[in-house]
Homo-oligomer: A and B are copies of this chain.
Amino acid sequence: MLRGDITVAIRNAVMNELAEVGYGRLSIEAVARRAGVGKTAIYRRWSNKLEMVMEIISDVAERKVPLPDTGSFSGDLSLLLLIVSTALRHRMASQIIPDLMAEAARNPQIAETLQRALRTHQQAVGEKLIGQAVARGELPAGTDPEVAVDLILGPLYWRLAVARQPIEDDYLEKFTVAVTAALRAMG
């Protein structure tokens, strides 16, 4: 394998191990076996398990949020809700984040990395979505992007990743109307 391919294989192995056994039970041995590499290939890149997992999680968080400008706030919001509700069914939201949250309570470094990763994502989404709507005159200039993103991501995260209740056909529609009214009232 090429150097870059080895890194990709290790990353995928780490994500799969995190989803399956969780951080506490993840071992460098199992990651190496799963990636088809020797343990030295891992220790050449990271000095320990914590450093390895934290760097990989941070990289995932820094990937660009794919949020194109649809030309209107309602279009942007519908698209974001679709992206978020799909992402929340992914094991990153339903397994890896909860596992690291539980681990964070016992390890301040994990807490700090996880919170920074989530904040980075949230700020990028908020600035883009709300910034575009304010620029178009669709939302008041004073709209707080942080509160706005809490109002959009929070209920979906709660429903899909925590309470794990399905979203019926008309849910996203009702939700879009409600969130739009909420943001207009807040400005």
On A, residues with C-beta under 8 Å from B are 19-20, 22, 24-25, 91, 94-95, 97-99, 101-102, 104-106, 111, 115, 118-119, 122, 144, 146-147, 150-151, 153-159, 161-165, 171, 174-175, 177-186
Residues of B within 8 A of A118 (CB): 162-163
Copies of the chain in the assembly: 2
Chain A interface mostly helix, strand, loop or mixed? helix
Can you list 12 contacts pairing A with B, beta carbon distance less than 8 Å? A98-B98, A102-B102, A119-B165, A144-B174, A147-B178, A150-B175, A157-B157, A157-B162, A174-B186, A177-B185, A178-B182, A182-B185
Q: Tell me the complex Cα distance, A115–B161, Å.
A: 10
Contact between A164 and B102, CB atoms less than 8 A apart: no
Top 10 A-B residue pairs of the complex, sorted by shortest distance between their CB atoms: A181-B185, A154-B155, A154-B158, A99-B102, A154-B154, A98-B101, A182-B182, A178-B182, A150-B155, A95-B105
Contact between B163 and A151, CB atoms less than 8 A apart: no
Q: Tell me the complex Cα distance, A25–B24, Å.
A: 9
Q: Quote the shortest CB–CB distance from A105 to chain B (angstroms).
A: 4
Residues of B within 8 A of A157 (CB): 154, 157-158, 162
Q: Quote the shortest CB–CB distance from A73 to chain B (angstroms).
A: 15
Choice from B105, B175, B179 contacting A94 with Cβ under 8 Å? B105
Q: Tell me the complex Cα distance, A171–B183, Å.
A: 13
Contact between A97 and B162, CB atoms less than 8 A apart: yes
Q: Tell me the complex Cα distance, A91–B106, Å.
A: 11
Contact between A164 and B99, CB atoms less than 8 A apart: no
